[in-house]
Structure 1
């Protein structure tokens, strides 16, 4: 089984202020009849709208015209010259949601970034109040840092999006050539691959996002590829082939290994991630020679009391169990192992393992 693991990275979130026009999606039931009429009649004029919807073809024609122009700015109607207005794709969507985008001119602060794991670039979009000129002079406000809009902000223009940090859908309709850049924020993406969980944390707030569709196994195998371990991975058995001689005792004993993937971990088209450690990856050997040596080591390592015949047989079975794919493992007998573990120097004390084996042999247990 592939262990669970988490991928993380930090991102820069640009903070920009600008004076322009932003449309917010709002429930406006009084405008729905105009969209319905445009849909059902394949077009609508100020005269037809005033006559059918406002009750006075001429007297309320100007009111109807203003409402139709407002719907045009919202993107739900498209002007057709002298033929009036026609419903757009956005208009059909507005009828389903019973909401339209209402444009508002003012001053705005937008947080934006670019990351392949995010559904879009818009993190947050809020209005803000300009400080009074008197206060700026009085308190010697610093000079504003104005520049061309960042490419991630430019890309947002005209897109109806729900900010990642929450709120109704909004759309930047008018973006000036020069905007004010403020100090950036830092966001942290956390992708818990096995749980198919992705979240963005900004400050103390965390926001859930749709996780990539890539499976846990496919993501892990892509991670192995970044470290050049693909040839060592047995995709069917889901174990990593390792050389017995190069393993620490803990890995030999547990048949698992912790592997650290150093930063930056470039994973497919998902960008670079921080250094990450995947713990307790199942391991095994790729050849019979290593299987014999590894099983013999595990057998000797398990001897922690007098090695009577019954216990020794059980230890042999446990030592050989991970290597069932290799037929006819050559495990040393109790007598051979007892002789192997005795000290070379005459009179030297026996180790605990040697004593447990020798005692069982001498007493024929």
Structure 2
């Protein structure tokens, strides 16, 4: 049995002025950091002599200054620098965060299924903005779209290193500074989250953002036991669920023939809710194992199975074998069956007696 929960993400799109650092592969800076790690410190002269083939010290100083500006190196003594924690991380990942200040477009969501909030980020072309003013709406209208950046979003982004959901390059971004206001524009994005919980829990995001396909999957920590218990509570099924046998007690009268035969039933669930994950769309839980709720339900169910299996000539001894096979489905109940002759009489349709009785009575 699997639990499948789904909903569409609530996505907002802002244009903001921000300082955002993007990871870049900078071999020349990596070489400086590696030298600092190997020697314990580094200087402009060391860089010029050992990395640049005795080029002028000013060239080495420029590389040192870039590393210092990006907080990869810390000045320890005059003209000597040591590796920082940020520099060590950059050396290990072979990527360096390079800050860029400008206007950015960000797509974000407050959906708890995507905890870091960032769906996508792109530099925004101001030429495009001027065209929008000219062709679509005036400056006054754009100003009306300026909104305070929500506190929840600032907390999610400020100072954090994030890989956007829809970034197929798995690039990392660090938000060093965010403006207080941003222009809220139409998101032009539709992404659905599907959480499938069974032996493992898989979270899948699919959809489009600016007409580009988005497909991302990851493992989720929600367990089947936890999710199923919450569903049992919400449906008021706790008293009907037998934990040891892992079956749901049901009434025989509420079952279709297929459900009686398979001992499984599909149940529609309205607005399921999971702890810390909020409300999902209506869903159906398929193939829930079921069992009779009462002795009477068990009797009706067993007799129905026996009747269904009576589809050939039953020879001497076969009827008892058929009964034993049926009772195996109901280990928690004492099932009794009539004698074969009596059961045969019960199975005859009423119309048979309306026709046969006059013949027997010769009337």
Find the counterpart in structure 2 of residue 170 from structure 1.
173
Find the counterpart in structure 1 of residue 359 from structure 2.
none
Out of 330, 338, 343, the position equivalent to 1:332 is 338
> SS of the residue aligned with 2:329?
helix
1:250-292 CA distance string (max 9 Å, x none): 32232111111111x1112232221111122111135545433
Which whole-Å CA distance do the structure 1 matches of 2:130 and 2:164 have between them?
A: 34
* Cα pair 1:343 1:349 within 8 Å, conserved: no
Is 2:218 aligned against 1:181? Answer: no
Out of 30, 43, 46, the position equivalent to 2:28 is 30
Find the counterpart in structure 1 of residue 284 from structure 2.
277
Structure-2 change in CA distance of 1:156 and 1:239 (3 Å): same
Is 2:265 aligned against 1:260? Answer: no
Shift of 1:338: 3.2
Shift of 1:152: 5.0
Which whole-Å CA distance do the structure 2 matches of 1:209 and 1:32 have between them?
A: 32
Shift of 1:332: 2.0
Within a 5 Å distance, the mapping from 1:210-359 to structure 2 comes to 210-263=218-271, 265-309=272-316, 312-326=319-333, 328-342=334-348, 347-349=353-355
Pick which of 175-184 and 246-255 moved more.
Answer: 246-255
Shift of 1:93: 1.2
Find the counterpart in structure 1 of residue 203 from structure 2.
198
* Cα pair 1:256 1:281 within 8 Å, conserved: yes
Shift of 1:122: 1.7
Pick which of 235-244 and 182-191 moved more.
Answer: 235-244
Structure-2 change in CA distance of 1:343 and 1:207 (3 Å): closer
- Structure 1: runs of 5 or more not aligned: 351-365
Which whole-Å CA distance do the structure 1 matches of 2:242 and 2:60 have between them?
A: 70
More strand by share: 2
Structure-2 change in CA distance of 1:311 and 1:280 (3 Å): farther
1:15-45 CA distance string (max 9 Å, x none): 1112332221111121124323444565556
Shift of 1:164: 1.6
What do you get for the CA RMSD once the two structures are aligned? 3.4
Structure-2 change in CA distance of 1:336 and 1:111 (3 Å): same
Aligned length: 344
- Structure 2: runs of 5 or more not aligned: 357-363
> SS of the residue aligned with 2:265?
strand
> SS of the residue aligned with 1:177?
strand
TM-score normalised according to structure 1 size: 0.79
Pick which of 97-106 and 74-83 moved more.
Answer: 74-83
Which whole-Å CA distance do the structure 1 matches of 2:215 and 2:204 have between them?
A: 5
1:99-138 CA distance string (max 9 Å, x none): 2111223332111113333252221111231126864564
Structure-2 change in CA distance of 1:133 and 1:12 (3 Å): closer
1:316-340 CA distance string (max 9 Å, x none): 23422211344x5212222222344
